[in-house]
Amino acid sequence: MTPTSPGATPAAAPALPARQVALILFALAMGGFAIGTSEFVAMGLISEIARGVGVSEPQVGHAISAYALGVVVGAPLLAILGARQRRRTLLLWLMAFYALGNLLSALAPHYGSLLLFRFIAGLPHGAYFGIAALVAAHVSPPDRRGQAVGRVMLGLSVALLVGNPLATWMGQVFSWRYAFAAVSLIALATVAMTARVLPPGLGAPRTDALRELRDFNRAPVWLALGTGAIGFAGMFAVFAYLPPTLVHVTGTGAGFVPFALAAFGVGSIVGSLAGGWLFDRFGFRAAALLLLWSIAVLLAFPFAAQHAWTVLPAITLVGTMGALATVLQSHLMDVAGEAQTLAAASNHSAFNTANALGPWLGGMAITAGLGWTSTAYVGVATALGGLLMYLLARRASAPVAGDARPAAECGGG
């Protein structure tokens, strides 16, 4: 691998036919679709799972938390353990592991085993997305790598719009176990398609674990991760309390909630595509633009939530805040040096941190009597915190005279 200076364009991959690149991106996005469906379907099947394993619904919530913990732990751990594997090989093993974790979840005989198997299923989540993003950028033209990363993340967004509702329906009509079994089949299909369309020899082997850890432990990497962990929390603060907000503030019935979730899914798809486009044109500055956009959207949300005809467009706009994930994923390629996979995988640990931080802070505001829409103002505060982290990251990422440290490098399939 050839060292480059901070912010430089990574070395291009051997030219591949446009059709093959499109198939590779589709295969990688299919893996994201499987992951997104599995991650969110448990929320829609809480009652069915509770009855199936003989526990209360709040206890099933612990199974959801177990999956999130698996993501946070597994992303850096598996990236380090797979340090000397080619990225293609690692992708195949990670998605096969994901298929196994979901199959075990479908077969869990009791509550304790379900907790364990959901934790196991979460382990490959972050590492898969991180490596898939690097491979997508590597096989695409340098000036379109942000869009390539956005298309991989698109699988997660489509899962919110299509996969989760279908899997929830399947779990309600047949059994919650069928939902996890279906995810396992999609994951295996991803393995088969990726093995077929991604060339075996694409890219060089990854660096060793010690070198990854050395380059990972640098301010530009940690500040970029901090920008996501703090700045992204506002979206989750609003999303977590969306159903009660619709019922108690907007005055809709529970039947309106699926339409709201669909609106969020549409916004998420737009955000995934827009994030890549923005990064290709503005680089890391796109993060600041999106954080300012998030502040504007969140400030408008409490007013839009008062009426059914304005709340759906507002929810769609909240979904577009997900564009920040694509921008930060792409930016990490420019500042991670030899820690490409470890940093890319850890990006998903950062966003799961935001997923925990946002609802926790939003819940504190609601409990304090500030009302259901106070979650939006909590989100404004976290977006401002994200802007501060961005400014620090921007300063830390600036080239220093005489610094020959390798930086933007995403080669390796």
Q: What is the CATH number of the domain that holds 263?
A: 1.20.1250.20
Percent of the chain whose pLDDT exceeds 90: 23
Per-residue confidence band for 298, with pLDDT thresholds at 50, 70 and 90: very high
Quick one: pLDDT at residue 380?
A: 95
Domain residues for 28? 15-203
Task: Decide if pLDDT at 57 tops 80.
Answer: no
Do 196 and 224 fall within a single domain? no
Q: Which of 203, 226, 258 is the last residue of a domain?
A: 203
Q: Which of 179, 203, 227 is the last residue of a domain?
A: 203
Quick one: pLDDT at residue 64?
A: 73
Quick one: pLDDT at residue 206?
A: 55
Dist CA 23 CA 46 (whole Å): 35
- For residue 244, being part of any structural domain is answered with yes
Do 91 and 173 fall within a single domain? yes
Range of weakest confidence among 29-43, 140-154, 293-307, 353-367: 140-154
- For residue 363, being part of any structural domain is answered with yes
- For residue 174, being part of any structural domain is answered with yes
Quick one: pLDDT at residue 254?
A: 67
Do 186 and 243 fall within a single domain? no
Name the domain count of the chain: 2
Quick one: pLDDT at residue 4?
A: 39
Quick one: pLDDT at residue 148?
A: 78
- For residue 8, being part of any structural domain is answered with no
Do 227 and 326 fall within a single domain? yes
Nearest to 34 by CA among 132, 135, 136: 132
Task: Decide if pLDDT at 176 tops 70.
Answer: yes
Per-residue confidence band for 408, with pLDDT thresholds at 50, 70 and 90: very low
Quick one: pLDDT at residue 140?
A: 77
Do 215 and 255 fall within a single domain? yes
Quick one: pLDDT at residue 201?
A: 65
Mean pLDDT value across the chain? 80
Per-residue confidence band for 11, with pLDDT thresholds at 50, 70 and 90: very low
Task: Decide if pLDDT at 2 tops 60.
Answer: no
Q: Which residue has the higher pLDDT, 212 or 68?
A: 68
Quick one: pLDDT at residue 1?
A: 36
Q: Which two tokens stand for residue 23?
A: 């198939």
Do 254 and 312 fall within a single domain? yes
- For residue 152, being part of any structural domain is answered with yes
Task: Decide if pLDDT at 141 tops 90.
Answer: no
Do 161 and 272 fall within a single domain? no
- For residue 2, being part of any structural domain is answered with no
- For residue 10, being part of any structural domain is answered with no
Do 253 and 268 fall within a single domain? yes
Q: Which residue has the higher pLDDT, 186 or 151?
A: 186
Task: Decide if pLDDT at 5 tops 70.
Answer: no
Task: Decide if pLDDT at 117 tops 90.
Answer: yes
Average pLDDT of 65-88?
Answer: 78
Whether residue 406 contacts residue 4, with contact meaning beta carbons closer than 8 Å, is answered with: yes
Do 192 and 235 fall within a single domain? no
Quick one: pLDDT at residue 407?
A: 39
Do 180 and 307 fall within a single domain? no
Do 148 and 182 fall within a single domain? yes
Q: Which of 149, 176, 203 is the last residue of a domain?
A: 203
Per-residue confidence band for 412, with pLDDT thresholds at 50, 70 and 90: very low
Per-residue confidence band for 182, with pLDDT thresholds at 50, 70 and 90: very high
Do 100 and 224 fall within a single domain? no
Quick one: pLDDT at residue 299?
A: 96
Quick one: pLDDT at residue 411?
A: 41
